[in-house]
Amino acid sequence: MKFDWCPLSNEQMEFYRNLCPPNQFCILKTGKPLPGISSRLTSKCASTIFLASSGDADGKIYYLANLIRTDLNDPNGFAVDQMPFGFVIDTSMQALSGVLVQHGNWEGRTNYPPPAEWENVLSERLDTFKELTILPKADSGNISQLDCPTQKYAFSVIINKLSTVFLNRKTNN
């Protein structure tokens, strides 16, 4: 996996915080660029994103925006990939920059829909994304009700990476 760090302003973080309250998830069609993520990358992604946030006992809140990228040139055929972007906020210190996970290696991160579903995927039919287990069955809910293993794993990759960096940063200050 490759981790690309992206600086985020308070306004950019507030954008995500306003979309998804702590301990919730939601599916959103943005139709506009996402703060902190290059427009070159988002132009290759569906306007549908999966958002989640989760608090911990220490007061940190983790945020995830999982981009859905279609790839017509994948060597194995038409592919749908996930590209998680996340950040953490802690009231005791300034927020970290965001991190984008590229070339993730968890099961279900890349999905190869059958040719009969290509048009539905390209037109971003939510029911198709849900049938392919790219998105959860519900459009929103409490994070404890998240029923999509691949989204759970994407969120855990973000939390683990940010927790490690956050702990190192706190220890070194």
Cα distances (Å, whole numbers) of residue 157 to 31, 51, 68, 142, 152: 26, 14, 16, 19, 9
Dist. CA 63–CA 95, nearest whole Å: 11
Model confidence at 172: pLDDT above 70: no
Query: Using the 8-state DSSP alphabet, how is residue 21 labeled?
Result: -
Residue 33 has pLDDT above 80, yes or no: no
- Among 100, 62, 102, which Cα is nearest to 81's? 102
pTM of the full structure = 0.83
Q: What is the number of structural domains in the chain?
A: 1
SS3 label, residue 25: strand
Q: Which residue in 105, 106, 110, 101 sits closest to 162, CA to CA?
A: 101
CB 52 within 8 A of CB 146: yes
pLDDT over 60 (residue 173): no
Residue 63 lies in domain? 2-172
pLDDT digits (tens, 9 = 90+) for 66-84: 888 888 888 888 899 888 9
Question: For residue 85, which of 112, 104, 70 has the smallest C-alpha distance?
Answer: 104
Compute the average pLDDT of residues 29-34: 73
